[in-house]
Amino acid sequence: MRIYRVSGSVVEAEDARGVEMHEIVLVGSEQLVGEVIRINEDHAFIQVYEDTYGLRPGENITPTGHPLSLELGPGLLGTIYDGVQRPLTVLNEKEGELIRRGVSASPLDRNKKWHFIPLLKTGQDIKGGEVLGTVPETDIISHRVLIAPDTKGKLSWVADEGEYALEEAVAKINGEKPIYMYHTWPVREPRPYAQRLEADQPLITGQRVIDALFPMAKGGSAIIPGGFGTGKTVVQHQLAKWADADVVVYVGCGERGNEMTEVLRDFPKLKDPRSGKPLMMRTVLIANTSNMPVAAREASIYTGITIAEYFRDMGYSVALMADSTSRWAEALREISGRLEEMPGEEGYPPYLASRLAEFYERAGRVKTLSGSEGSVTVVGAVSPMGGDFSEPVTQNSLRFVQVFWGLDKDLADRRHFPSINWITSYSQYIHMVENWWVNNVAKDWPALVKETFRLLQAENELESLVRLVGIDALPEDQKLMLLIARMIREGFLQQNAFNDIDTYSSPKKQYLLLKAMIDFYNSSKEVIEKKIPEAKIEDLPIIGEINRARFTYSDEAQLEDLVKRAASAPKSILGEID
Amino acid sequence: MSKDPAMQLRGNVSYATVTQISGPLIFVSGIKGVGYDELVQVKAGNRHSMGRVLDVSKEVAVIEVFKGTTGLSLGETSVEFLGRGLEVGVSQDILGRVFDGIGAPADGKPEPFVKEKRDINGSPINPTAREYPSEFIETGISAIDGMDSLVRGQKLPIFSGAGLPHNALAAQIVRQAKLLNSSESFAVVFVAIGITHDEAMYFRKSFEESGALANTSMVLNLADSPPVERITAPRVGLTMAEYLAFEEAMHVLVVMTDMTNYCNALREISSSRGEIPARKGYPGYMYTDLASIYERAGKIIGKKGSITLLPILTMPNDDISHPIPDLTGYITEGQIVLDRGLYRKGIYPPVDIALSLSRLMKDGVGKGFTREDHMDLSNQLYASYARMKEVRSLEMVVGEEGLSEKDKMYLKFGEFFEQNFLNQRENQDRSIEQTLDLGWQALSVLPEDELTRVSKEEIKTYMKKS
């Protein structure tokens, strides 16, 4: 097989008979890694995961016989990879601060010894997905050593508890086949599971507008579309920091280099609110920044989700953030253009929708092959051109996800963050996760949420009226609704990611904040019914205190006290008048 | 690419087999051993030009010719493949000099001393090797320092429109930009992309007056220079900047203007190749292409220097959702947006703070950097200004009579903020303390209860001082 043509990241090969679709090939004298993406008679089209400059027609291409696969085993956590699982820290040590091509490094450290504790015994029949043993990979996560899904047989030997490197066998099947602590799996093939389960457990994110109004479920899928400057990345980072998943996979797909640097700087310092250990211990990072090769960008999403599925198969809840799926779609478009395929909408290939569907369908809560419960939650950021949600990536994604967090340019311009628009956004999980709140936080939670939605909706309708007639023309009860809606916006929906107290709200705090506002509303209503003007309510100093509570109070007792005072404050006006 | 030994060994062969000429592109057939993206010398009679391989197959190579294809003919054009990419020679001697869009001297002086030659495309920085930018740069401009602070290693574009004073603003930043408590060596790389002689002269004069000229490298592709060289000019400039920053430990400020001309040149070449366009005729890979320029800004762990990038672009028809500003905004770390309405009111710099943003501000300001109240104050000013704008639009409907007392206070705040905080002279250099105090002074017009983004303590400490 030889190079016939080079155009950007796509190489056309001649004499390519026998090569398989999606097979990995090594291109040219520097053996650049590429993947076969189309075969036409004896010509094959290869997307190359590295820079193609200097490649010449006539150079050799070597097939490898296997598809693009990952190494899955201990050592993934806390590591940052590029789109095809090359460890970036190792590349930095080997090659210096610039990413050169033709450099390879094994994804998992071959020298490191891991402490292996066997769970299965010699003589047992095993099948794919079973847990052979465990390795304490980090202080938070115990790595369950899985039998590769496509393997089965009788265990003829299992290693004793002890320290082993990855290349040392820890078991044997049928007297011959060695089993290691890691196995490989092709990225484009979803890992199998026993059964799909309903997504009825909330993924608590500590972000109020999400948890209260547009909740995420473990195993669910969501998109966050938003123009530049609307705070997509901050929301994604917040989810990666605070979501109550066991493992987080963060894919920086075609975004800024400094954003990955920020994660690398912050996550080792930030503490997981549940375990108190550094967040990096539960995180795997995949980085294909916007100036890294475009074909590897296409692969990075699959690399991320395959790693997520692998931890799911150990029985963990995994959250995957992909920032941004638009860059992935654009990589598809660029490669499709180089292949001279007939374009669909806005130049995107016609198979964009089916690729998106395949990706989002890999999210889910499942019973694993070994019988435990695991989940992969997927949150994809979308960067629509000009912030216009009618573009193909947003529209096609919406058909396959259950949650839509639409980021709003106007809110962002007013520095209302997170700028999730509460009128247009939705979550199809809101009723499914309600029980969890009722059982674990408070019985009146659904009622509070309902009232919140009602007030925000009313504000939205009244706003246009106010614009015409002025606020003074409204009846007192409607003025009150506007006041409370404003409090909800400022004191609840807004959340400062960079304030130490405000950055994360426990479910209980979310409940108490909302409770304070709605109780204040209800007792103010009673006061207004007694012909007291709404302006009197507006003058109450407790309003400022409630609005600031999100970043001034972290203590539950303080908040409980605030709730009490919020309910009684309006009545003090009656006292004055009597 | 010159590192590839196979390419170096191959003798340079000349071909006279040009079969097609289309826009800036020529198609050469019957070639052998031509590498993708390699540099070419194109000759026709006594005309010489450089070019670059855009696409190569066994039979034909597609070449973009930097000086354009005017005067080339099928029979008389010969093409020589050089076996390397476009390189530029670098050393400290490039400072104080002027170059054209492919890095050749353009000031009539001899070639500067060359310490090493570098491929203009550079290589991506490994994200694990980057140092997160966090050193505040005081520009002396309140709209920037107070609201959208610039830090060393940031890429912060100016989104402007035709006729707005973006050049004056960029020149003022170059003149006044300095780091708090610092006197390290600095350099300026100025890249002109398709701008007029007058504009280039303006910058030159401004650098000269401020004494920065000796520390400035200018890469000039002017409006009458070949459009294809608009593609190479920013890369030449950034290659120089990388050398100065990471080898000579200088803090380099790169000003590039006008990126709109760059994008239009990209579109021109793309359409000559018959590529399928994405939006408004721009190629689908424009995001990646722009990123390969903008992402070269930054800092590297263990290296002293930095590259701060200040690209200027004019939004066609002042439309921020146009693909050029849109894709830029997705890559850069914020944007400074100029507003025609403010400009007409006589406010300089006419920065629309609602649309402007600095993503790296949060890490470069506050206690130990500028002042502890900086971030909260800036958030409060944003919020109050946004509220003021709502009041203004309400006023248009109901008139001033229809406004509440509180609303009228907001109008007063807006007036003060625009006239005294945003507005300053082109040679006025305000310290960060002055800027912050002016901000508090503007807020003092409003009732304290309205200030929910700042703490009571901050109000007590700083409001009184003003």
Quote the ipTM score: 0.89
Mind telling me how many Å the CA of B384 is from chain A's nearest CA? 9
Q: What are phi and psi of B399, to 5 degrees?
A: 80, 165
| Chain A residues close to B277, C-beta within 8 Å | 347
CB atoms within 10 A of CB A174: 10
On the 0-12 / 13-18 / 19+ scale of CB atoms within 10 A, A447 is exposed
CA gap A202, B37 in Å, rounded: 51
> Which tokens in the block code for residue B436?
């912050």
**DSSP state letters, A32-44:** EEEEEEEEETTEE
A333 → closest Cβ in B284, B334, B386: B284
**DSSP state letters, A103-150:** ----SS-SS--EEEEE-S-TT-EE-TT-EEEEEE-SSS-EEEEEPPTT
A292 touches chain B (CB under 8 A): yes
The overall average pLDDT reported for chain B is 91
Confidence category of residue B402, pLDDT binned at 50, 70, 90: confident
pLDDT for A235 beyond 60: yes
Residues 231-260 of A with CB under 8 A from B: 252, 254, 256-258, 260
B281 touches chain A (CB under 8 A): no
Closest residue on chain B to A262 (Cα): B132
B285 → closest Cβ in A80, A258, A334: A334
CA gap A457, B380 in Å, rounded: 26
Confidence category of residue A387, pLDDT binned at 50, 70, 90: confident
- Number of inter-chain CB pairs under 8 A, A vs B: 209
What integer is the mean pLDDT of A546-562? Answer: 93
pLDDT over 70 percentage in chain A: 99
E strands of A226-328, at which residues?
A: 247-253, 283-288, 317-323
A488 touches chain B (CB under 8 A): no
Which of A56, A61, A81 would you mutate first to test chain B, the one with the most B CBs within 10 A? A56
B333 → closest Cβ in A252, A256, A294: A256
Predicted pLDDT at A134: 97
Confidence category of residue A389, pLDDT binned at 50, 70, 90: very high
B330 → closest Cβ in A5, A383, A543: A383
**Closest listed residue to residue A429, CA positions, set A236, A193, A194, A205:** A205
Residues 136-165 of B with CB under 8 A from A: none
Predicted pLDDT at B180: 52
Note the pTM of the prediction, 2 decimals.
0.93
Predicted pLDDT at B4: 47
User: For residue range B250-276, what is the model confidence (pLDDT) as tens digits?
Assistant: 999 999 999 999 999 999 988 888 888
What integer is the mean pLDDT of B293-298? Answer: 96
A413 touches chain B (CB under 8 A): yes
A498 touches chain B (CB under 8 A): yes
Interchain contact, B276 vs A337, CB within 8 Å: yes
User: For residue range B108-138, what is the model confidence (pLDDT) as tens digits?
Assistant: 999 999 999 999 999 999 999 999 999 999 9
A465 touches chain B (CB under 8 A): no
Query: Residue B47's beta-bridge partner residues?
Result: B44
A164 touches chain B (CB under 8 A): no
User: For residue range A470-503, what is the model confidence (pLDDT) as tens digits?
Assistant: 778 899 999 999 999 999 999 999 999 988 999 9
Domains of chain B from N-terminus onward: 6-85 (2.40.30.20), 88-363 (3.40.50.12240), 374-462 (no CATH)
| Distance spanning both ends of chain A, measured CA to CA | 95
Amino acid at B366: G
B323 touches chain A (CB under 8 A): yes
User: For residue range B359-374, what is the model confidence (pLDDT) as tens digits?
Assistant: 999 889 999 899 999 9
What integer is the mean pLDDT of A342-371? Answer: 94
**DSSP state letters, B328-379:** HHHHSSEEEEB-HHHHHTT-SS-B-TTT-EETTHHHHSSTTTS-TTHHHHHH
pLDDT for B182 beyond 60: no
A470 → closest Cβ in B33, B383, B402: B402
What integer is the mean pLDDT of B378-406? Answer: 88
Confidence category of residue A182, pLDDT binned at 50, 70, 90: very high
Interchain contact, B301 vs A97, CB within 8 Å: yes
Residues 316-375 of A with CB under 8 A from B: 327, 330, 333-334, 337, 343, 346-347
A282 touches chain B (CB under 8 A): no
User: For residue range A2-30, what is the model confidence (pLDDT) as tens digits?
Assistant: 999 999 889 999 999 999 999 999 999 99
B419: left (phi over 0), alpha (psi -120 to 50) or beta: alpha
Predicted pLDDT at B11: 57
pLDDT for B8 beyond 70: no
Mind telling me how many Å the CA of B357 is from chain A's nearest CA? 7
Mind telling me how many Å the CA of A157 is from chain B's nearest CA? 41
What integer is the mean pLDDT of A227-246? Answer: 93
CA gap B164, A323 in Å, rounded: 34
**Closest listed residue to residue A153, CA positions, set A182, A132, A184, A181:** A132
Interchain contact, A334 vs B58, CB within 8 Å: no
Q: Which residue has the tokens 């990611």?
A: A497
Peptide bond into A107 cis (omega under 30): no
B284 touches chain A (CB under 8 A): yes
Which of A415, A537, A547 would you mutate first to test chain B, the one with the most B CBs within 10 A? A415
Confidence category of residue A575, pLDDT binned at 50, 70, 90: confident
Predicted pLDDT at B183: 67
| Distance spanning both ends of chain B, measured CA to CA | 59
CA gap B307, B135 in Å, rounded: 12
CA gap B72, B270 in Å, rounded: 20
Predicted pLDDT at B394: 83
Mind telling me how many Å the CA of A132 is from chain B's nearest CA? 34
Confidence category of residue B48, pLDDT binned at 50, 70, 90: confident
Closest residue on chain A to B385 (Cα): A414
Interchain contact, B38 vs A88, CB within 8 Å: no
CA triplet A390, A392, A395: central angle to 5 degrees? 60
CA distances for A37 relative to A23, A45, A298, A468, A561, angstroms: 8, 6, 12, 59, 63
Interchain contact, B58 vs A14, CB within 8 Å: yes
Confidence category of residue B308, pLDDT binned at 50, 70, 90: very high
User: For residue range A102-134, what is the model confidence (pLDDT) as tens digits?
Assistant: 888 999 999 999 999 999 999 999 999 999 999
B58 touches chain A (CB under 8 A): yes
Q: Please say whether the beta carbons of B77 and B46 come within 8 A.
A: no
B356 touches chain A (CB under 8 A): no
Mind telling me how many Å the CA of A66 is from chain B's nearest CA? 27
Interchain contact, A347 vs B55, CB within 8 Å: no
Q: What are phi and psi of B207, to 5 degrees?
A: -65, -40
Predicted pLDDT at A404: 97
Confidence category of residue B465, pLDDT binned at 50, 70, 90: low
> Which tokens in the block code for residue A206?
């500590």
| Chain A residues close to B398, C-beta within 8 Å | 469-470
Q: Please say whether the beta carbons of A322 and A381 come within 8 A.
A: yes
CA gap A28, A59 in Å, rounded: 5
User: For residue range B197-235, what is the model confidence (pLDDT) as tens digits?
Assistant: 999 999 999 998 888 888 999 999 999 988 889 999 999
| Chain A residues close to B4, C-beta within 8 Å | 29-30, 54
| Chain A residues close to B385, C-beta within 8 Å | none
Least confident window among A543-557, B6-20, B250-264, B320-334:
B6-20
CA gap A391, A383 in Å, rounded: 10
A415 → closest Cβ in B6, B303, B383: B383
What integer is the mean pLDDT of A433-455? Answer: 96
Closest residue on chain A to B336 (Cα): A229
CA gap B370, B180 in Å, rounded: 8
User: For residue range A29-76, what is the model confidence (pLDDT) as tens digits?
Assistant: 999 999 999 999 999 999 999 889 889 999 999 999 999 999 999 999
Pairing of strands B178-179, B158-160: unpaired
CA gap B315, A97 in Å, rounded: 35
Q: Please say whether the beta carbons of B167 and B258 come within 8 A.
A: no
The overall average pLDDT reported for chain A is 93
B126 → closest Cβ in A55, A91, A544: A91
What integer is the mean pLDDT of A425-435? Answer: 95
CA gap B307, A172 in Å, rounded: 55
| Chain A residues close to B284, C-beta within 8 Å | 330, 333-334, 337, 347
Residues 408-437 of B with CB under 8 A from A: none
CA gap A81, B57 in Å, rounded: 33
Most confidently modeled range among B23-27, B63-67, B433-437, B447-451: B433-437
Helix (H, G, I), strand (E, B) or coil at B139: coil
CA B293 to chain centre: 9
pLDDT for A578 beyond 60: no
Confidence category of residue B466, pLDDT binned at 50, 70, 90: very low
pLDDT for A330 beyond 70: yes
Closest residue on chain B to A391 (Cα): B279
pLDDT for B179 beyond 70: no
pLDDT over 90 percentage in chain A: 82
Residues 208-267 of B with CB under 8 A from A: none
pLDDT for B13 beyond 80: no
